[in-house]
């Protein structure tokens, strides 16, 4: 099943039918339904009404809820600032890399008692990226394929010195929400891709002395209609090839990631990770080794 995570300005999906909200032991939930006959889960990242700031989002709960709801792949939508003149407000970027500058968030499902290390060399699913690109072309939406997303902690916008540093690092867009989301999706063995909607040029641009909420909201709302059209076009393309046979191995990210010996693993943490890592934990418990 395909899941979508909506960011600023994208709080719902048009055309969902047979809808119901699913709650799972957290203040977060997923709206389940069908879009043109395809099962779909939609989760508003900031909660309905945009009540939750980036640092307070329970990213682990979001990913866990979607995995428990049956999702095998996620398309994430995020409002971002542009760090490049050639990426003006209104353009969509199909991100392929991240730099994580967050520091106040739980970034892994694993921990003391059950340690795992997954690869983030290629943090998004190229198969899903292909589907989004084809959808953008079909919907005649201006997009750029590929770009580096600098994820900052927030909730304040960046200083000019910070933005200049990120530009020197050759980052393309900046936002506050896709980390640790992408890392957790990888640990949960879900295909994951990001659509970054540019809302502003940030404070480096001579015509943008400072970023304001009004500026972001105005462009985010203008982008929202195009984003929903893009998502609707992406759904049938994303589900054409079963995610369980993703050629990029997203559903096998934990295959060789667990390092804690089976006999040393924390039983309580194993229970907590039932949805995220049950595939490898059950296999390794029956085979007797890691």
Q: Which active-site residues does the annotation give?
A: 200, 202
Token reading at 116:
């795992």
- Residue with token string 């392929």: 96
Strands (E), 176-267: 191-200
DSSP 252: G
3-state secondary structure of 202: coil
Residues 270 and 268: their CA atoms lie apart, in Å, by 5
Q: Following CA atoms 126, 257, 72, 181 in sequence, which dihedral angle do they give, to the nearest 10 degrees? A: -70
What's the number of CA atoms in the CB half-sphere (13 Å) around residue 1? 19
Residues 262 and 235: their CA atoms lie apart, in Å, by 39
Rg, C-alpha atoms of the chain: 19
Pairing of β 38-44 and β 191-200: unpaired
Q: What are phi and psi of 24, to 5 degrees?
A: -135, 95
Least Cα distance to 166 among 215, 120, 204 occurs for 204
Least Cα distance to 276 among 251, 239, 244 occurs for 251
């Amino acid at each position: 099943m395909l899941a979508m995570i909506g960011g600023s300005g994208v709080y719902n999906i048009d055309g969902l039918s047979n809808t119901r909200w699913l709650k799972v032991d957290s203040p977060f939930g997923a709206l389940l339904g069908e879009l043109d006959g395809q099962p779909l889960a939609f989760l508003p990242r900031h909660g309905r009404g945009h009540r939750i700031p980036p640092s307070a989002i329970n990213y682990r709960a979001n990913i866990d809820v979607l995995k428990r709801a049956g999702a095998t792949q996620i398309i994430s939508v995020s409002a971002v600032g542009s760090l490049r003149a050639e990426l003006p407000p209104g353009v969509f970027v199909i991100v392929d890399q991240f730099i994580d500058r967050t520091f106040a968030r739980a970034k892994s499902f694993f921990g003391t008692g059950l340690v795992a290390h997954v690869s983030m060399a290629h943090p998004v699913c190229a198969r899903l990226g292909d589907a989004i690109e084809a959808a953008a072309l079909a919907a005649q939406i201006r997009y750029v394929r590929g770009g580096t997303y600098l994820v900052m902690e927030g909730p304040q916008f960046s200083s000019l010195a910070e933005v200049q540093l990120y530009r020197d690092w050759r980052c393309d867009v900046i936002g506050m929400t896709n980390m640790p989301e992408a890392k957790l999706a990888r640990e949960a063995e879900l295909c994951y891709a990001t659509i970054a909607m540019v809302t502003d040029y940030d404070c480096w641009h001579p015509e943008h002395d400072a970023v304001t909420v009004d500026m972001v909201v105005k462009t985010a709302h203008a982008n929202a209609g195009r984003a929903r059209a893009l998502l609707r076009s992406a759904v049938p393309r994303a589900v054409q090839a079963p995610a369980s046979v993703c050629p990029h191995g997203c559903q096998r990210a934990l295959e060789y990631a667990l390092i804690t010996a089976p006999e040393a693993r924390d039983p309580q943490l194993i229970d907590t990770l039932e949805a995220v890592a049950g595939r490898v934990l059950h296999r390794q418990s029956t085979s007797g080794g890691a």
